[in-house]
Structure 1
Amino acid sequence: MRRDPHTAAWDALKAARKIQRFTQGIERSAYFEDDLLQSAVERQFEVIGESLNRLSRLSSELATQIPDLPKIVAFRNVLIHGYAEVETAVVWDAVTTHLPPLIENLSALLGEAPAQSDERP
């Protein structure tokens, strides 16, 4: 199997879109009370971080086009390894503040509209 950096970017975009779908219409207080939703969102952030880490190993040229890629990968590491110390407010901030620009960036990188489906071309 050929390792394709675009597949890694697409996997990150798909996970980011899932987070948006999971949290659409959800208020901060509702998110804080929903352990299942928190787990689902955190899992998708883990996928984003792992996918972008893989992208950085496959294509440094593409990786440099993603702002804050090292911070995104570090966030994944905190979620995976420091799960007992994960602050719900930090994750919610990532959902509401950092995720929309990441989706726009990945969509542009892949030549897709930000709101396209999760189906692979």
Structure 2
Amino acid sequence: MRRDPRTYLWDALRAVELLAEFSSGKTFADYEADAMLRSAVERQFEIVGEALNNLSKVSPYLAASMPDLPRVVASATS
């Protein structure tokens, strides 16, 4: 059974919200020094990539309306 495309959008949105929360008030030096922060941030980027990649499979029409989607997915999943 295919998931509703909105679910993938919600997953990506939630991951971006968490990225903002995790990085709020942090510097790059904080990021480099904190393995847990790095892991959390990197995982959320993976979730964004996975969600948008799956969106492109279940709803190519919707994915086509996002011109930077292939670049975002390639960056987040590589």
CA contact under 8 A between 2:2 and 2:58: conserved in structure 1?
no
The equivalent of 2:26 in structure 1 is: 26
The equivalent of 1:67 in structure 2 is: 67
The equivalent of 1:38 in structure 2 is: 38
Give the TM-score of the pair, scaled to structure 2. Answer: 0.89
CA offset at residue 2 of structure 1?
Answer: 4.6
CA offset at residue 8 of structure 1?
Answer: 0.5
Q: Which runs of 5+ in 1 are unaligned?
A: 79-121
Aligned length: 78
Give the TM-score of the pair, scaled to structure 1. Answer: 0.60
State how far apart, in whole Å, the 2-side matches of 1:65 and 1:13 are: 16
State how far apart, in whole Å, the 1-side matches of 2:56 and 2:19 are: 22
User: Identity percentage over the alignment?
Assistant: 50
The equivalent of 1:11 in structure 2 is: 11
Q: Which runs of 5+ in 2 are unaligned?
A: none
The equivalent of 2:54 in structure 1 is: 54
